[in-house]
Amino acid sequence: MEESRRFTVGYALAPKKKQSFIQPSLVNLACTRGIDLVPIDTDRPLSVQGPFDCVLHKFYGEEWKAQLRDYAFKNPSLPIIDPPDAIERLHNRISMLQVVSELEIPQEKETFGIPSQIVVYDSMALSDYGAVGALRFPVIAKPLVADGSAKSHKMSLVYHRAGLLKLKPPLVLQEFVNHGGVIFKVYVVGDYVKCVKRKSLPDVSLENLDSTEGSLSFSQVSNMTTQNRNNEEYYESLQLEAEMPPLSLLTDIARGLRQAMRLHLFNFDIIRDSKAGNHYYVIDINYFPGYAKMPSYETVLTDFFCNVVNKKSAEDGADSTVEGKGNEMKLLSRTYCGGTKDVESER
């Protein structure tokens, strides 16, 4: 009996991302579904590795981008998840949210947008009333560059103008919106959308701003209240009053972002305005986030890999001769990786 073909997904990930994402549970499930996850040595040419049916990466540097461009040119049908030039848009906190404002999605009962924000390139502008005068305090100060480094996660909640003078540009100043201390993290994997809620910064009493210390420093908003607590305690504490945003709204936003940004793997953070309970703000977008924190991430990602490699295999078959097409379809009928049943059950 002819052995079914296996598919190879090569991955190039920084050590920290590899440690969190490439879990034995993911590798084993993918293996049972005909997908072999194989590490890529970024110090060696891609051309001498593989062959790959898909390249998955979250790795930076000009040499790596040049390698990918060359490999993609020589292998035009190879899926690369995702194109480096598309990922780069998310490295700038102004351009990353601009795409949200450009989405053409009907807004009826629920509406969405982005908070008012400005970019500041030099320290002089922080003391210039005209430059920041249009913003209402408090504001969140975020580094302009969002490249996944520890530095890019260092933020501040600034309560009044004096607190700005301690900051170091370039940075983005984004109006803080009271949102009930809850942030919704929406994970996107191709067509799949999953929303989870996390604790966030507490609401700020606008009446007490002047008597509050200038600023509060923190890293990731959703991690502020979870330090030194195990997951069970944390999730038990999330019996929050806040209901989930409508899945239809999140799915529409996710689809619009995916198409506009040409990305398959990302998440976006969204909050609900405490004053206008039906208005939401997208406040951040991240490429290839910590999927291992997402429920059933192994099933979701394996389904995604299967869809990608089977689509490539089908397209390769369409380019062959009529006889080749028939043989390819027989092969696909034996090696299909399980369909979308598991994905649908998660939605």
User: Can you say which residues are annotated as belonging to the binding site for ATP?
Assistant: 93, 142, 174-185, 200
- Tokens found for residue 263: 């990305």
Residue 239: C-alpha distances to residues 86, 236, 292 (Å): 37, 6, 22
Choose among 51, 39, 36, 38: nearest CA to 6.
36
User: Can you say which residues are annotated as belonging to the binding site for 1D-myo-inositol 1,3,4-trisphosphate?
Assistant: 17, 58, 153, 185, 286, 290
Amino acid at 30: A
Q: Calculate ∠ Cα 156-161-165, nearest 5°.
A: 65
User: Can you say which residues are annotated as belonging to the binding site for Mg(2+)?
Assistant: 269, 284, 286
Q: In sequence order, what are the residues at sequence separation of 6 or more whose Cβ sits closer than 8 angstroms to the Cβ of residue 205?
A: none
* Cβ-based neighbour number of residue 31 at 10 Å: 13
The answer to whether the CB of 300 falls within 8 A of the CB of 343 is: yes
User: Can you say which residues are annotated as belonging to the binding site?
Assistant: 17, 58, 93, 142, 153, 174-185, 200, 269, 284, 286, 290
Q: In sequence order, what are the residues at sequence separation of 6 or more whose Cβ sits closer than 8 angstroms to the Cβ of residue 231?
A: none
Q: What does the H/E/C string look like for 167-191?
A: CCCCEEEEECCCCCCEEEEEEEECC
- Tokens found for residue 59: 């790795």
Kindly state the DSSP code that residue 238 receives in the 8-state scheme: T
Helix (H), strand (E) at residue 266: strand 265-272
